[in-house]
Amino acid sequence: MSGTAASPKTVMLIITQDTKEQEARFLRHALEEAGVHVVHLDPSVRRDLGGAEIGPDTIAGAAGTTMDAIRALGHEGHIHERMIAGSIAAAHAYAAHTPIHGILAVGGSMGTALAGPLMQSFPYGLPKLIVSTMASGFTKPYIGVKDIAMMNAVTDIAGINTISRDVFRNAAFAVAGMAKGYAGPIASDRPLVLMTTLGTTEKGTRRIREALEADGCEVMVFHSSGAGGPTLDAIAGERDVALVLDLSTTEIVDNIFGGLCDGGAARGTVGMARGIPTIWAPGNADFIIGGPVEVSEKQFPGRRYHKHNPQLTAVRTNLDDLKRIADRLAAMMREAKGPVSVFTPLRGFSSHDSSEGHLHEPALPLPFADYLRAVVPTGVEFHAVDAHFNDPAFGDAVIRRARALLDLKTTVPA
């Protein structure tokens, strides 16, 4: 059989040689054994042992300085900040002329704190794995909202032992395998729609998703449990998004009241600031997500509670709470640079807030709708729908407006 063999895929290896020389050699060998080309980015500060394709001097230069100047800062935090900035710049400069197909980083707290933002700066889909002593603890600062995998180093990254040998080899072969299968970003000519939901509103949002998918849209759905909404916002800030359907307010509610799924003060603002057409609905506004029921009873006294599981409790919102939610949504909409529509159901905000649910308050949706109508900015299209959030009638109302914003000439599903 004739033909030219494909060039090996390239994996960027991030590890400091000044403190982990033996481990760096082991990992390079494992990656090469797995059949990939290695480009080693070495953010060492103490000394430069050489041999890395992207060494400390290159990293410092990418940060607009020198290693001598960085060392002269004399403060590990400030030094680390410069090395992070330089590493990100140097990695992208390399990738601009030599495509990379995966990234593997190995480190402790400092190495992980450098690898995390570097990996976050690369696109979704590119394989990214960090072997870290921090992987069994709080990982959010390192992962952010990107598709980064973390593997527990188990032992300290201090030499090769019978456990670290297998951890490192497994990591190297895992990234090599992913890199070999990585085909690069795949362009799509379908309109991209971003949507939030939660399990208690999934019945209604599924109808909307399926209708828009049948129209030819690509619909990405995000679980609004603390990370999903911020991920939607990040994608809305990066990609060509045709429409945002923010149909679950859980992360906004929890930001206001101190719930567990707090999405941050800026949650929901990015797409509107870019002028992306947006449809809002107060899905799940009927509850705050608290911790175990005994904790929730102390944090939110005098409420109604539904024990979702041993770790999570749905805490019923009252009318004053709902008005605060309306005020937050209205304030966000005032900054919008594109069309905004609001749909609010008059018969319940989630499956909890229904005749079959555990937190039903049928008297609350109407006064909430009246208040929300009064505070939303002029120019926001407002709809109060005499249906439950999960009813087909509510979903179909949202679908019709979505299609108008997308300019799709199709019919609502039967």
Per-residue pLDDT at 411 exceeds 50: no
Same structural domain for residues 77 and 15?
Answer: yes
- 211 and 136 in a single domain? The answer is no
Report if residue 5 sits inside a domain.
no
Predicted pLDDT of residue 64: 97
Q: Are 226 and 84 in the same domain?
A: no
Same-domain check for residues 202 and 106: no
Residue 246 lies in a domain: yes
Chain centroid to Cα 319, Å, comes to: 31
pLDDT in tens, 54-64: 999 999 999 99
Binned at pLDDT 50, 70 and 90, residue 215 comes out as very high
The token duo for 376 is: 């939303």
Q: Residue 229 falls within a domain, yes or no?
A: yes
pLDDT category of residue 136 using cuts at 50, 70 and 90: confident
312-315 CB contacts, 8 Å cutoff, 24+ apart: 312/260, 313/289, 314/287, 314/288, 314/289, 314/290, 314/352, 314/358, 314/359, 315/259, 315/287, 315/288, 315/289, 315/290
When pLDDT is cut at 50, 70 and 90, the band that residue 2 belongs to is: very low
Say what the pLDDT of residue 213 is: 97
Q: Which residue has the tokens 């129209």?
A: 215
Q: CB-hemisphere CA count at 13 Å for 310? A: 0
Predicted confidence (pLDDT) per residue in 274-325, tens digit: 999 999 999 999 999 999 999 999 999 999 999 999 999 999 999 999 999 9
Mean pLDDT is lowest, of 49-53, 188-192, 409-413, for 409-413
Q: Give me the domain span that covers residue 210.
A: 192-287+317-406
Residue ending a domain, among 126, 150, 181, is: 181
What pLDDT does residue 409 have?
A: 47
Q: Is residue 106 part of a domain?
A: yes
Percent of the residues in the chain that have a pLDDT greater than 70, as a whole number: 97
- At residue 41, the pLDDT reads 98
Starting from the edge strand earliest in sequence, which strands make up the sheet with 312-316, in order?
A: 287-290, 312-316, 305-309
Domain boundary among 125, 155, 181: 181
Radius of gyration of the chain (CA): 25
Write out pLDDT tens, residues 14-71: 999 999 999 999 999 999 999 999 999 999 999 999 999 999 999 999 999 999 999 9
* DSSP line for 269-323: -HHHHTT--EEE--TTTTEEEESSHHHHHHHSTTS-EEEEETTEEEEE--HHHHH
Type and span of the H or E element at 383: strand 381-385
pLDDT value of position 412: 46
What pLDDT was estimated at residue 408? Answer: 60
Residue 252 falls in which region: left (phi positive, over 0), alpha (psi -120 to 50) or beta? alpha
**pTM assigned to the model:** 0.84
Q: Are residues 101 and 221 in the same domain?
A: no
Least confident of 188-192, 218-222, 241-245: 188-192
Q: Check whether residue 361 and residue 266 sit in a common domain.
A: yes
For the record, the structure tokens of 72 come out as 């002269």
Measured in whole angstroms, the distance separating CA 300 from the mean position of its chain's CA atoms is 28
Cα distances (Å, whole numbers) of residue 137 to 109, 120, 152, 396, 412: 11, 19, 9, 43, 47
Return the CATH number at 127.
3.40.50.12020
Q: Mean pLDDT across the stretch 231-253? A: 96
Q: What is the pLDDT of residues 388-407, one digit of tens each?
A: 999 999 999 999 999 999 98
CB neighbours of residue 243 within 10 Å: 24
CATH number at residue 224: 3.40.50.12030
**What's residue 3's pLDDT?**
47
Mean pLDDT of the chain: 94
Q: Is the same domain home to 222 and 176? A: no
Residue 1 scores a pLDDT above 90: no
- Could you give the dihedral angle defined by the CA atoms of residues 13, 15, 16 and 17, in that order, rounded to the nearest 10 degrees? -70
Residues 54 and 167 placed together within one structural domain of the fold: yes
Residue 307 lies in a domain: no
Q: How many distinct structural domains can be found in the chain?
A: 2
| Domain boundary pick from 181, 205, 226 | 181
Q: Say whether both 138 and 208 belong to one domain.
A: no
- Spatial CB neighbours of 167, under 8 Å, sequence gap ≥ 6: 131, 151, 152, 153, 154
pLDDT band at 5 (very low <50, low <70, confident <90, very high): low
From start to end of 122-209, where are the E strands? 128-132, 149-152, 192-197
> What is the pLDDT at residue 198?
96
Measure the CA–CA gap between 72 and 171, rounded to whole angstroms.
35
308 belongs to a structural domain:
no
**Sorting pLDDT into bands at 50, 70 and 90, what band is 184?**
confident
pLDDT of residue 188: 82
228 and 350 inside one domain: yes
Please report the sign of the dihedral spanned by the C-alpha atoms of residue 63, residue 117, residue 14, residue 123.
Answer: negative
Mean pLDDT along residues 232-242: 94
Q: Are residues 215 and 130 part of one domain?
A: no
Residue 151 lies in a domain: yes
At residue 414, the pLDDT reads 44
Burial of 308 (0-12, 13-18, 19+ CB in 10 A): middle
230 and 322 fall within a common domain: yes
Q: Is residue 224 part of a domain?
A: yes
Tell me the pLDDT band of 374, cut-offs 50, 70 and 90: very high
| Over residues 133-141, mean pLDDT | 85
Tell me the mean pLDDT in the region 68-77.
Answer: 94
Confidence bin at 138 (pLDDT 50/70/90): confident
